[in-house]
């Protein structure tokens, strides 16, 4: 649970930097576009940044389906668990 | 000239008549250099164009417009742009960005209230989205519309609003936090010139398109009923994307007009001007330049034809409008530049008119999406959702060559994605190269599909595109 919270915090922190929404106001249910104001370019760049920061290799096809903060966390966790 | 068969028969006669009216009127009453010097289009010109019916081309017949297809509107826009780009921009903005949001997403009540006057040209539309801190980054807009006590309270400001100085109706993009349950949604709103708090600023003094009105728009304590919102709350960005798709495609059609005017001037000049005992067009280098201009123009027309045919497929139109905008704006600039060069010193002097074509063309590489940003978007889209154009083998040898060209770009894309994976999405330089290759690919595909109309120009364009792709494919 602590490791998951830590991952969640890291992702929220990255999102806060990308979107100017404070990290403590970001929740897993937030939609990247409607709630965080991220367009398709920013959403894709987010995943690229996560790959760089977390050292995970996300497939392009997985990236297309990410629509919420929770999806981002789950995607990252899936890849980290598989390592 | 490409075959007109794509226009529905009931439209073809109307379009031909409209273009004839535009040409006759423009020859007598539109003085491009005079408009440029005055920094203004005479209001009487706009009234006359409204009488011809130009302001209603994109508005449904039910509301007094002509309800033409996108292809037909593009053809008329091209015709107008051949004569003067400021006039074409004024009308084209109204037909595209200015009214499209309302036409596509407005309610019955909104249509009834505004479209008849817009169709008649009694009301002119503008579109306001860019802000000082939000140009390419439209999601960063700060103009806000908050719902309070049943009304929308709008505060903020816009810059570079085309038609801003005299528009009667503005479609603006605003952040709409909380509206419809979206924390950071956006919306398109209709504001009228007479709404308290809406104020257009002074006219900008520009490099080109000097006859086209460009102003700031100040929104201070504007309070309007919530029925000014277009469509469901929070859908502004999706709506904006659709509106931009229309605007970009019609702008591309305008670029064809610029290109044709430049080619016409260059062709005439080089046939008349003699140096070293012969007309300029007898020299090989000049012949090559003229041939390249014509090939590039052929590609522009072909791609606009193909993209306008996607009018009823919004997703495809959205995707393809970016490439046609980049191709046509760059091509118009290139062709106008060569026209100036071929005129020699007289090209640098306003009297020949080619300098004006060049100045007016410059902004098209910037507005409605700066081309370098659009290239990155194209690369991003191609990387994440690649498009596989249909084989052109049925078009014979040129089709096979085009297929090989397309295959080479596909290989490049595949190599990028397999080398970099999702990290590619953060590599701007590579996405930019891929995006430009997508532009060339789409233009080659379109030109070859229409190759039977002018095989030589299609072949020359394919050759040019191949040359231009080499530096992109082989850069380290």
- The interface pTM score, or ipTM, of the predicted complex is 0.77
Contact yes or no for B66/B103 (Cβ under 8 A) = no
Low-confidence ranges of chain B (pLDDT < 50): 1-5
Q: Do B423 and A52 touch (CB under 8 A)?
A: yes
| Chain B: residue whose CA lies nearest to A39 | B139
As a whole number of angstroms, the distance between CA B127 and CA B117 comes to: 17
Kindly indicate the confidence band of residue A42, based on its pLDDT and cuts at 50, 70 and 90: confident
Distance from CA of A82 to the nearest CA of B (A): 17
Among A53, A10, A39, A37, CA closest to B422: A53
CB contact under 8 A, B424 and A39: no
| Alpha carbon of B422: minimum distance to chain A alpha carbons (Å) | 5
State the residue for tokens 């522009």.
B300
User: pLDDT tens across B338-378, in order?
Assistant: 999 999 999 999 999 999 999 999 999 999 999 999 999 99
Looking at residue B235, its pLDDT comes to 84
Query: Residue B101 class from Cβ within 10 Å (0-12 exposed, 13-18 middle, 19+ buried)?
Result: buried
C-alpha triplet B11, B13, B17: angle, nearest 5°: 115
Asked if the Cβ–Cβ distance from B384 to A63 is below 8 Å, we say: yes
Please check the confidence at residue A5 and state whether its pLDDT lies above 80: no
Residues on chain B touching A49 (C-beta within 8 angstroms)? 426
pTM of the model: 0.94
What separation in angstroms does the CA of B134 have from each of A15, B84, B128, B328, B336?
19, 30, 12, 24, 30
Cross-chain residue pair A48–B423, CB shorter than 8 Å:
yes
Terminal-residue alpha carbon distance, chain A: 18
Which residues partner with B158 through β-bridges? Answer: B217
Identify which of B386, B376, B381, B455 has the alpha carbon closest to the alpha carbon of residue B414: B386
Cα dihedral B147, B153, B159, B163 sign = positive
Catalytic status, residue B368: yes
Search chain A and give the residue with CA nearest B177: A35
Size of interface A-B (CB pairs under 8 A): 66
| Contact status of A14 with chain B (Cβ, < 8 Å) | no
To probe the interface with B, which of A18, A42, A51 has the most B CB atoms within 10 Å? A51
A81–chain B Cβ distance below 8 A for any pair: no
Contact criterion met (CB < 8 Å) for A34 and B384: no
């Amino acid at each position: 649970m602590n490791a998951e919270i830590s991952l969640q915090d890291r992702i929220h922190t990255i999102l806060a930097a990308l979107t100017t929404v404070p990290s403590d106001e970001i929740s897993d249910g937030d939609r990247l576009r409607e709630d965080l104001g991220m367009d398709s370019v920013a959403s894709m760049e987010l995943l690229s940044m996560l790959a760089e920061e977390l050292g995970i290799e996300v497939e392009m096809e997985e990236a297309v389906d990410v629509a919420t903060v929770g999806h981002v966390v789950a995607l990252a966790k899936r890849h980290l668990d598989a390592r | 000239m490409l075959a007109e068969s794509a226009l529905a028969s009931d439209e073809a006669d109307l379009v031909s008549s409209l273009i004839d009216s535009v040409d006759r009127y423009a020859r007598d009453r539109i003085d491009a250099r005079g408009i440029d010097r005055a920094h203004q289009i005479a209001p009487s010109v706009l009234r006359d164009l409204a009488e011809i019916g130009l302001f209603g081309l994109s508005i449904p017949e039910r509301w007094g417009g002509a309800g033409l297809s996108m292809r037909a509107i593009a053809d008329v826009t091209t015709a107008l742009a051949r004569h003067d780009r400021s006039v074409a921009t004024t009308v084209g903005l109204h037909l595209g960005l200015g009214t499209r949001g309302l036409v596509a997403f407005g309610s019955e009540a909104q249509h009834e209230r505004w479209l008849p006057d817009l169709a008649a040209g009694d009301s002119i539309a503008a579109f306001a989205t860019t802000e000082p801190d939000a140009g390419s980054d439209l999601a960063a807009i700060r103009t806000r519309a908050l719902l309070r006590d049943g009304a929308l309270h709008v505060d903020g400001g816009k810059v570079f609003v085309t038609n801003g100085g005299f528009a009667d109706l503005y479609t603006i993009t605003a952040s709409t936090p909380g509206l419809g349950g979206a924390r950071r949604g956006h919306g398109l709103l209709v504001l009228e010139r007479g709404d308290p708090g809406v104020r257009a600023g002074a006219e900008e003094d520009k490099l080109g398109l000097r006859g086209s009105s460009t102003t700031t728009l100040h929104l201070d304590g504007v309070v309007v009923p919530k029925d000014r919102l277009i469509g469901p709350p929070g859908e502004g960005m999706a709506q904006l994307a659709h509106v931009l798709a229309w605007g970009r495609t019609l702008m591309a059609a305008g670029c064809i007009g610029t290109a044709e005017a430049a080619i016409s001037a260059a062709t005439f000049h080089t046939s008349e001007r003699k140096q070293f005992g012969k007309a300029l067009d007898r020299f090989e280098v000049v012949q090559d330049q003229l041939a390249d201009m014509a090939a590039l123009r052929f590609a522009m027309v072909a791609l606009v034809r193909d993209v306008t045919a996607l009018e009823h497929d919004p997703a495809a139109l959205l995707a393809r409008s970016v490439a046609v905008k980049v191709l046509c704006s760059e091509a118009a600039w290139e062709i106008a530049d060569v026209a100036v060069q071929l005129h020699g010193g007289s090209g640098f002097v306003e009297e020949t008119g080619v300098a004006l074509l060049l100045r007016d063309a410059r902004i098209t590489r910037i507005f409605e999406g700066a081309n370098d940003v659009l290239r990155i978007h194209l690369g991003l889209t191609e990387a994440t959702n690649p498009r596989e154009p249909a084989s052109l083998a049925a078009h014979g040898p040129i089709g096979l060559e085009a297929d090989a060209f397309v295959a080479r770009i596909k290989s490049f894309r595949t190599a990028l994605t397999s080398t970099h994976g999702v990290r590619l999405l953060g590599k701007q330089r590579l996405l930019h190269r891929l995006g430009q290759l997508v532009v060339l690919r789409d233009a080659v595909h379109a030109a070859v599909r229409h190759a039977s109309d002018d095989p030589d120009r299609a072949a020359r364009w394919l050759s040019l595109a191949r040359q231009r792709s080499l530096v992109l494919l082989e850069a380290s």
